Structure 1
Amino acid sequence: MPQTTRAAATSPEVPPQPPRPSLLPASASPIHRLPDDTLQHIFSSLPLRDTFSSRSVCRQFREALSSIHFLTLLPPLRILALRHPRHHHQSSHHQHPPSLLAFDPSSSRWLRFPLSFLPFPSLSPVTASSSLLYLWADHLPSPSSDSKPPKSLVLCNPLTRSFRVLPPLGSAWSRHGTVLAAPAAAGSAVLVLTELAALSYSPGAASWRKFSLNLPSKPRSPVIVGASIYSLCDIGSPWRNQWKLFSCSIADLGGPRGWVQLERLEWGDVFDILKRPRLVRGGGSDQILMIGGLRSSFAVDAPCSTVLILRLNLGSMDWEEAGRMPPEMYRCFAGVVGQGATAVAANAGGNNKVKVFGGEGRVWFSGKRVRGKMAMWEEEEEVEKGAGSRGIWKWVDGAPGYGDGVFRVLSLMPW
């Protein structure tokens, strides 16, 4: 992943805004006499956290630093956005205004984006794409009806404080559906997947389209890479899981070709060595990461010694080991202090305590036993041609935690 910088940038595609005539009195501070384009150029060289904190200084700063023109001056920023395990309810909406908590890996700083501009009594962020945030939102009940109105998906941009409400959905979709946001190259569609069916909404459409999934089980940790969806499915028995990788083009969703199981003879037992695997987007445009507990044997109740990260190159369809969590880090998630055979045996269910999330070449790990921090793995560039990398492991401090666990993952948001 390219490193994020805070250097000032220019955008030749967007013409500079003409200076705005000043309506301030002659005694006003000289900085208030600067035109918007000059202010924007100054603030584009500052860290994002400082820039958007400055929007509360005065109306001129708020308007200048919230414009689309200013946002095009900012360098790409990929942050990990988190959401609270509990929704923001109307009873506490005014006491604790809803907000989006995010971590900027490039500066190792936490950011908080207010969501108080959204007029809904309850909000639950679920995913993100580009600079858009997707949330489940409850509507205010009608005084003339006793029934609870259905939830809606809301698209918003926390930087510009703008939003749009999609057609409402039934409660089953919001409770059990997995929301995926396709990139602009794939049509910018919004997908909601359940065990048997999927919904798709394209920009400008009047309603959702429904498709049958025809998968052997509920899709697990589906991800969008390019113009296709990839997901793990369990084709095993009630006594033993057997995970396989499935793929479907977004354009073929619900079509005659539909989902295809991806399998190669040379893959061998790659799906059997991991316990409770999950998929995450890799750093490249044709890479998928699969993360799970590394089994010590093929027995059903075999303990796990650590967390293993495998990388699939979709061009060559080859798997390789991308990373392995250091034993001392894994013991923190399992709550084991000792070493050796005793610690390995105690780690039998350890990987079940580790939550995995991320994308774009970074993977985060959180757990109830690890308070106030998360583990992070980051892909490294190849040190030499043909040589892979095991990545960098480190702790991220300052992660919020509650009695019911740490914040749940939302997504990586590339602003």
Structure 2
Amino acid sequence: MPEESESGPPPVSSPPPPILLLPHDSLLHILSLLPLRQLVLCRLVCRHFAASLTSPPPATPPLLPLLALRHPRHCYPHPHSFYSYDPLSDSHLHFPLDFLPFSSTSPITSSTSLLYLWASTSSADTLTPCSQPKPPKSLIVSNPVTRRFKILPQLGSAWSRHGTVLAGPAGAVIVLAELAALYYSPSIATWRKFSLNLPSKPRSPVLVDGAIYTLCDVGAPWRSQWKLFGCGIEELGSGWGAVEKEGWGDVFDVLKRPRLVRGGGEGRVLMVGGLRSGYGAESPCSTVMILRLDLGRMEWEEAGKMPLEMYRCFAIGGGVGGGGTGGGNNKVKVFGGEGRVWFSGRRVRGRMAMWEEAGEKGEGEEGDGGRWRWVECVPGYGDFVYRGFVYNAGFAEIP
């Protein structure tokens, strides 16, 4: 008699789950009924779901407004992910970037659904100490939700080290440096260079309603004096001019080390800085003030003032805007957009201060205007300070 096989009868394969047998359009319609946060998680269910979510579903879910956090340790970047914070649910999200075939990446700015990163496209770039020279980086536009990306035309290494990148509408990109600007759009598919006719290096430029606004120092070497300049995107080479109005008075002397942030709604620019206690160059700051400029009316107004108890957490060694009385170095970053401003400090570990332009002041809250609160459980790296920018995640644009 033939001997029976020790392995037993062949295993019976189980049928695939019914949802995998659905037509592709039907599956996309089901997935489109989920909010974007759940769609991102669905990518982890199986390979079939991940492949199906590389294109927009028939009914595109609303955008998810996030704060993308830039890793502070540029010397040893984490190339395969970036952190973000959801202010609506007060929770943190982690976006994988493992679909990008680059040795290191650094997210820098965004437009609707699109994330822009500097990436090292050379295989020679590894996790090396800061003191070693690095190869040039390329500017990458990607959509982390659909996991698609595109490499923009090569730039010189100086632009990635010193340029400020602004993402405009319809895929336009502007890179501002001290003396020149670069402009790219998909229609021309190349970079155009313009000389900047500005009195100093542009500080914290923002893009509002098709125009760029920036602060420039027009003062003496021993005392800064800030002034607002603006220019339309299509007039980078010749359209820069001072944005001013008779009656503004000393609005730019009120704040120390001001920064611009895009306000909520149309035609609004926020200016954030330390509120001077006097007009002397070394006058300390008493708190942080947020001023709002309505470009339609060309009028400034006070939008918010940081509560004193919150400001004391930043005030050691200079505070926001500098000029404090304590010792040590307390570097503070100010960032945000669309009516929200965040503050991260070297001595404020594991959390950020947040101000929201919209909403009423809660019971027991201090401060004038808006809403102030702490964002807790922010991942920290010793004395390094996070920076960030607004990122509206979604399917709206595909690179």
Scaled to the shorter chain, the TM-score interval is 0.7 to 0.9
2:105 corresponding residue in structure 1? 123
Match of 2:256 among 261, 270, 275: 275
Quick check: 1:367 aligned with 2:345? yes
Match of 2:17 among 26, 29, 44: 29
- Structure number with higher relative contact order (C-alpha < 8 Å, ≥ 6 residues apart): 2
Q: Summarize the Cα distance change of 1:304–1:364 in structure 2 as closer, same or farther, 3 Å threshold.
A: same
1:300 corresponding residue in structure 2? 281
Q: d(CA) in 2 for partners of 1:41 and 1:349?
A: 59
Q: What amino acid is the match of 1:130?
A: T
Q: How does 1:95-110 map to 2 (within 5 A)?
A: 98-110=80-92
For residues 204-254 of structure 1, the C-alpha deviation after alignment (integer angstroms, 9 at most, x for no partner) is: 424210001010000000000011100000000110000000000111110
2:114 corresponding residue in structure 1? 132
Q: d(CA) in 1 for partners of 2:205 and 2:374?
A: 26
2:7 corresponding residue in structure 1? none
Are the equivalent residues in 1 in contact too, given 2:352–2:374 (CA < 8 A)? yes
Q: Summarize the Cα distance change of 1:198–1:312 in structure 2 as closer, same or farther, 3 Å threshold.
A: same
Are the equivalent residues in 2 in contact too, given 1:87–1:123 (CA < 8 A)? no
Q: What amino acid is the match of 1:232?
A: L
Q: How does 1:239-254 map to 2 (within 5 A)?
A: 239-254=222-237
Q: How does 1:10-409 map to 2 (within 5 A)?
A: 27-69=15-57, 72-87=59-74, 98-141=80-123, 150-184=136-170, 188-255=171-238, 258-335=239-316, 346-347=324-325, 353-380=331-358, 390-409=369-388
Q: Summarize the Cα distance change of 1:376–1:42 in structure 2 as closer, same or farther, 3 Å threshold.
A: farther
Q: d(CA) in 2 for partners of 1:391 and 1:73?
A: 31
Q: What amino acid is the match of 2:103?
A: P
Q: d(CA) in 1 for partners of 2:309 and 2:327?
A: 16
For residues 165-193 of structure 1, the C-alpha deviation after alignment (integer angstroms, 9 at most, x for no partner) is: 11111111111000011123xxx311111
Q: Give the superposition deviation at 1:121.
A: 1.4
Q: d(CA) in 2 for partners of 1:332 and 1:352?
A: 10
Q: d(CA) in 2 for partners of 1:377 and 1:210?
A: 37
Q: Specify every segment of 5 or more residues in structure 2 that has no aligned partner in the other structure, as ranges.
A: 1-12, 125-132, 362-367, 395-399
Are the equivalent residues in 1 in contact too, given 2:166–2:174 (CA < 8 A)? yes
The TM-score normalised by the length of structure 2 is 0.84
Mean Cα displacement is larger for which, 195-204 or 227-236? 195-204
Q: Give the superposition deviation at 1:87.
A: 3.9
Q: Specify every segment of 5 or more residues in structure 1 that has no aligned partner in the other structure, as ranges.
A: 1-24, 90-94, 337-343, 384-388
Are the equivalent residues in 2 in contact too, given 1:400–1:406 (CA < 8 A)? no
For residues 20-43 of structure 1, the C-alpha deviation after alignment (integer angstroms, 9 at most, x for no partner) is: xxxxx8733344344445544554
Q: d(CA) in 1 for partners of 2:219 and 2:157?
A: 29
Q: Give the superposition deviation at 1:371.
A: 0.8
Q: What amino acid is the match of 1:156?
A: S
Q: Give the superposition deviation at 1:375.
A: 0.7
The number of residue pairs the alignment matches comes to 364
2:3 corresponding residue in structure 1? none
Q: Give the superposition deviation at 1:46.
A: 4.5
Q: Give the superposition deviation at 1:68.
A: 1.4
The TM-score normalised by the length of structure 1 is 0.81
Greater Rg over alpha carbons, structure? 2
Q: d(CA) in 1 for partners of 2:50 and 2:150?
A: 21
Are the equivalent residues in 1 in contact too, given 2:330–2:346 (CA < 8 A)? no
Q: What amino acid is the match of 1:181?
A: A
- Counterpart secondary structure, 2:161: helix
- Counterpart secondary structure, 1:175: helix
Are the equivalent residues in 2 in contact too, given 1:49–1:111 (CA < 8 A)? no
Root mean square deviation, CA, Å: 2.7
For residues 271-324 of structure 1, the C-alpha deviation after alignment (integer angstroms, 9 at most, x for no partner) is: 001000000000011100000000000010000011000000000000000000
Q: d(CA) in 2 for partners of 1:347 and 1:331?
A: 11
How high is the sequence identity, in percent, across the aligned residues?
62
2:390 corresponding residue in structure 1? 411
Q: Structure 1 segments of 4 or more deviating over 6 A?
A: 348-352
Q: What amino acid is the match of 1:233?
A: C
Q: d(CA) in 2 for partners of 1:332 and 1:139?
A: 41
- Counterpart secondary structure, 2:205: strand
Q: d(CA) in 1 for partners of 2:237 and 2:310?
A: 43
Q: Summarize the Cα distance change of 1:198–1:306 in structure 2 as closer, same or farther, 3 Å threshold.
A: same
Q: d(CA) in 1 for partners of 2:354 and 2:98?
A: 30
Q: Give the superposition deviation at 1:49.
A: 3.6
Q: d(CA) in 2 for partners of 1:307 and 1:373?
A: 17
Are the equivalent residues in 1 in contact too, given 2:115–2:391 (CA < 8 A)? no
For residues 27-77 of structure 1, the C-alpha deviation after alignment (integer angstroms, 9 at most, x for no partner) is: 33344344445544554454544432221221222123332126x521122
Q: d(CA) in 1 for partners of 2:273 and 2:243?
A: 19
